[in-house]
Chains A and B, each alone.
Chain A
Amino acid sequence: MQQKRIPLSKIVFVFLVVLGCQQEKKLPFLGPKEVGKQGDTLYHKIPDFKFLNQDSLWVSQKDMAGKIYVADFFFTTCPTICPTMKTQLLRIFDKFAEDDRVRILSHTIDPEYDGVRVLKDYAKKLNITSPRWNLVTGKKSDIYRLGEKSYMVTAQEDANEEGGFVHSGAFILVDQNRHVRGIYDGTKEEDVNHLIEDMTLLLKE
């Protein structure tokens, strides 16, 4: 019996199509979109900001230009989800330790207590020495507005909540052009694995 042989070229073709499709995978653009004057799509963008970091230096959108970064919201005396979030951020930090294209931006939602000195002490205890991980403080209303309007997370004071604040444990992935490309649950290891994969993908764009 003679078997019909599939020509090699066909196999190669199918292989290339499959490979091509996989490379096509791109992260979505999150947040409200607008139509520009030329009829082009304007994606949601993180606006200008300016906060003080743990070394008492100003950090603004200029420091993030051309970098991808993970943003989160926390407070140093948080007894609930923050320790888990910081454990996960440390994983991300270690993973991209050598990569100058990556930043981490942790905003305190309790700026009245978390001044520069408190943040410095917290950073020191977590062994955060790299200037690539900024813990920032500023005007409370600025931080809350940026969190809710731009990073699309909830953050507010709530006396009934343990620690006095209610906030989501989200990690927000922002691309080189200030667009939000992913939101993850920073308290779940699997979700953070997904974030790490997406960061690798985003770095190839």
Chain B
Amino acid sequence: MINKFAILGLMIIGISCESREEITRQQYVVEGMNLYQTNCANCHQVDGSGLKDLYPPLAKTDLWQRVKMSELACIIKHGQKDSIRVNGKPYNAYMPANPKLQALDIAELMTYMREKWSPNKTIFSLDSARYALKNCP
């Protein structure tokens, strides 16, 4: 009997230690989804498909491999005035800034978008977001 409980206890500790970062990541994904739908989906659409040739897609794009994540974080926060190339196609409608989004919001958003559309489905940590925003051009 004691053995059983001990094993169970060890298992729980094991799972929780191993996945503390994973739990944070999943929380970021959930929060990020809400933020995405409020702030981004208008133009980029809920499924990330973009709006014709007016607003670029995020899903199934080379953005995730070609553009630095810190650069994307800066675009989300400060907007984009110049033309941007996505999948080889130029898009030149400007993107408005999102001054209300803080470092944590951006970390959550980036983590959500990575989960959905990037081959690299890792967390974009709060530290990374803070660092990126501090060094925006």
Show the binding face of B for A, using Cβ within 8 Å.
42-43, 45, 51-55, 93-94, 96
Sampled A-B contacts (19; CB under 8 Å): A77-B94, A81-B42, A83-B42, A83-B54, A83-B55, A86-B51, A86-B54, A87-B45, A87-B51, A90-B52, A122-B54, A124-B53, A125-B53, A125-B54, A126-B52, A126-B53, A126-B54, A127-B53, A163-B96
- Alpha-carbon distance A80/B41, docked complex (angstroms): 11
B123 → chain A, closest Cβ, in Å?
Answer: 29
B92 → chain A, closest Cβ, in Å?
Answer: 9
11 more A-B contacts (CB under 8 A) besides A125-B52, A126-B53? A79-B96, A81-B42, A83-B43, A86-B51, A86-B54, A122-B54, A125-B53, A125-B93, A126-B51, A127-B52, A163-B96
Chain B hits for A162, CB < 8 A: 96
Shortest beta-carbon contacts, A-B, top 3: A79-B96, A125-B53, A125-B54
Interface residue A60 (Cβ < 8 Å from any Cβ of B): no
- Alpha-carbon distance A80/B53, docked complex (angstroms): 18
Interface residue A56 (Cβ < 8 Å from any Cβ of B): no
Interface residue A84 (Cβ < 8 Å from any Cβ of B): yes
Show the binding face of A for B, using Cβ within 8 Å.
77, 79-81, 83-84, 86-87, 90, 122, 124-127, 162-163
- Alpha-carbon distance A124/B94, docked complex (angstroms): 16
Q: Are B53 and A83 in contact (CB under 8 A)?
A: no
Q: Are B51 and A80 in contact (CB under 8 A)?
A: no
- Write the chain B residue with the least CB distance to A127: B52
- Alpha-carbon distance A70/B54, docked complex (angstroms): 22
Query: For chain A, what secondary structure do more than half of its interface residues adopt (helix, strand, loop), or is it mixed?
Result: helix
Query: For chain B, what secondary structure do more than half of its interface residues adopt (helix, strand, loop), or is it mixed?
Result: loop
- Write the chain A residue with the least CB distance to B54: A125
- Write the chain A residue with the least CB distance to B91: A125
Chain B hits for A80, CB < 8 A: 42
A193 → chain B, closest Cβ, in Å?
Answer: 16
- Alpha-carbon distance A81/B55, docked complex (angstroms): 14
Query: Which one of A80, A87, A127 has the greatest number of beta carbons of chain B within 10 Å?
Result: A87
Chain A hits for B43, CB < 8 A: 83
- Write the chain A residue with the least CB distance to B45: A87
Chain B hits for A77, CB < 8 A: 94
- Write the chain B residue with the least CB distance to A90: B52
A160 → chain B, closest Cβ, in Å?
Answer: 14
Q: Are A84 and B42 in contact (CB under 8 A)?
A: yes
- Alpha-carbon distance A80/B42, docked complex (angstroms): 7
Chain B hits for A86, CB < 8 A: 51, 54
Chain A hits for B42, CB < 8 A: 80-81, 83-84
- Write the chain B residue with the least CB distance to A162: B96
Chain A hits for B45, CB < 8 A: 87
- Alpha-carbon distance A83/B94, docked complex (angstroms): 13
- Write the chain A residue with the least CB distance to B95: A79
A187 → chain B, closest Cβ, in Å?
Answer: 9
- Alpha-carbon distance A77/B96, docked complex (angstroms): 9
Chain B hits for A87, CB < 8 A: 45, 51
Chain B hits for A124, CB < 8 A: 53
- Alpha-carbon distance A55/B96, docked complex (angstroms): 28
Chain A hits for B55, CB < 8 A: 83
